[in-house]
Amino acid sequence: MRKTALYSRSGAGAPPPPLAPAQPPAAVEEAAADPPMPAAPRRRIRLPQQPRALWALIALLSLALALALAAALRPMPRLTQAQIDAAVRHSLEQHPLPSPATRAAEAVRPSVVRVTGYQREREGQQDKETERGVGTGVVIVDTGVILTNLHVVQGADSVKVMFADGLEATASVTGLQTENDLAVLQAHKIPDDLHAATLRGTGGLLPGDQVVAVGFPFGIGPSVSAGVVSGLQRTFRSPVTQQRMSNLIQFDAAANPGNSGGPLVTMEGEVVGIVTAILNPTPARTFIGIGFAVPIENAASAVGMHPF
């Protein structure tokens, strides 16, 4: 049997691949209008590749650092003494300092109280309290313990004290030291921020040392007067009671009736004595330049405090 010859047409190859679906025209136009943005290249700091240039850069940075350090460590110009004195004078003229007496008075003022004694009198069907005397006291313990003169409260039916902040309270006499004309009071009510005075012994006290007396002369106050210590270990006899007191501080800061029981204060604001008497050779009862104070050592012993 004759076989049929197998053959293919000239130029004919494998069948063509299927065509991809045509892209819609709108999509083609959009892609052509907004091509994708290429990513920004990262910047890199490139140091000089040549050794000579690298060393030059290092030298330049070192020089800049050295100049900065030299400027920071440069010594300030020295001032002359005249320039310093002129600067101090200018500062004091613009902002004057308070006087030593002012600083001393301000230091003790929160501890100074007005002490008033009252006497009860019967008027009709009611009792009436009459003021019989005004003096001064100083807080020595912040629980309301107050030192004053005995003659300020002696014979009073009741005693009231007024603190620096204006609070008024009744008080009881809890101790006496008659030989030094001293009385100890305990206030029945006290301010929340009550401050006790700073006490200082008289061991280093000398005639000529500056002092201030703070009190309520004639009920006016608190008033401040300044002076110096005139003498130590003085003796005084009261012309009224004939009581003799010794080891007193003599001073010339003005004191008058009402100053009794108030503090005698150093320029450091420390209480060295309790004002107790003034020398009064005439019936005028005014200050003539000689006052006396009980040393704080004696006064503190009236409340059982250790001597200085």
Q: Which residues are part of the catalytic machinery? A: 151, 181, 260
Cβ(212)–Cβ(194) below 8 Å: no
Q: What is the DSSP letter of 111?
A: G
Cis before 222 (ω within 30): yes
Other Cβ atoms within 10 Å of 205 Cβ, number: 18
Neighbouring residues of 226: CB distance < 8 A, sequence distance ≥ 6: 101, 210, 211, 212, 253
CA angle 108, 113, 119 (to 5 degrees): 160
Neighbouring residues of 264: CB distance < 8 A, sequence distance ≥ 6: 211, 212, 213, 249, 251, 253, 271, 272, 273, 274, 275, 293
